[in-house]
Amino acid sequence: MLWAALLFTFAYNQVQAHGVSGSDGDFLAGNTGFAFGAYFYLGAKHMVTGYDHLLFLIGVVFFLHRPRDVALYVTWFALGHSITLLAGVLAGLQLNIFLVDAIIGLSVVFKALDNLGLFERYGWRPNLQLAVLFFGLCHGFGLATKLQDLGLHSEGLVGNMLTFNLGVEAGQLLALGLIVIVLAALRRSPAFDRTALVANWLLLVAGLVLVGYQLTGYELSTT
């Protein structure tokens, strides 16, 4: 079981890495009252450094050419993320974080499979807007669970969570802007088709790795 213990340690560290931990977690756990600047910054930082969110967003916008299509899908994701982030923290809703993060990993797998055309090959065309909304709900719920583990103070909680969510959306716009610029540059390359194929297979592998780590962490945390 040595390999499993090592894998669990890595998985746990990854959970902390894309959650809110270290000095940021200490601040949130000890803060009382409304703190607009700090919560806005931490929300933006979470999105910009949240590799699971970024991988999913890359998959979502990879083949979107029109700005209105990018805006539509990102709005669905932001709506879902905001609903469960706020409802989860303010209503105290919580599930096992490893299972939630496994579903988040599956969101990356899902979008990679869609981009590779594997769903259509077997005659299934998923409703992508509903899928993005659903996975947005899962992403937001994962963050809500991590925030609840910090034991946030009730004083100023509503305002702080609204501000944190605002920061998350600002960070998402910043990250999305960079992603769209890079993808637009790649599309001008004559090797784009080959690059897209490799990139989405890498997305698929990354999603599967995330799922495996989280399920291993869940198994070991319940034994």
pLDDT tens for each residue of the chain, 223 residues long: 333 433 444 444 444 445 566 677 777 778 888 989 888 998 898 888 888 999 999 999 999 988 899 999 999 999 999 999 999 999 888 888 999 999 999 999 999 999 999 998 888 889 999 999 999 999 999 989 988 888 888 888 999 899 999 999 999 999 999 999 999 999 999 999 999 999 999 999 999 999 999 999 999 888 7
3-state helix, strand, coil in the chain (%, to 5): 80, 0, 20
Q: Can you give the pLDDT at residue 20?
A: 63
Q: How many distinct structural domains can be found in the chain? A: 1
Q: Pick from 102, 97, 117, 78: which is nearest to 197 by CA?
A: 117
CA distance 84 to 27: 22
Any idea what DSSP says for residue 19? S
Q: Can you give the pLDDT at residue 6?
A: 37
Q: Can you give the pLDDT at residue 190?
A: 92
* Prediction pTM value: 0.86
Q: Can you give the pLDDT at residue 21?
A: 60
Enclosing domain of residue 171: 2-221
Q: Tell me the average pLDDT of the chain.
A: 87
Q: Give the DSSP H/E element, type plus range, for residue 203.
A: helix 192-221
Q: Can you give the pLDDT at residue 27?
A: 79
Q: Which two tokens stand for residue 209?
A: 């790795």
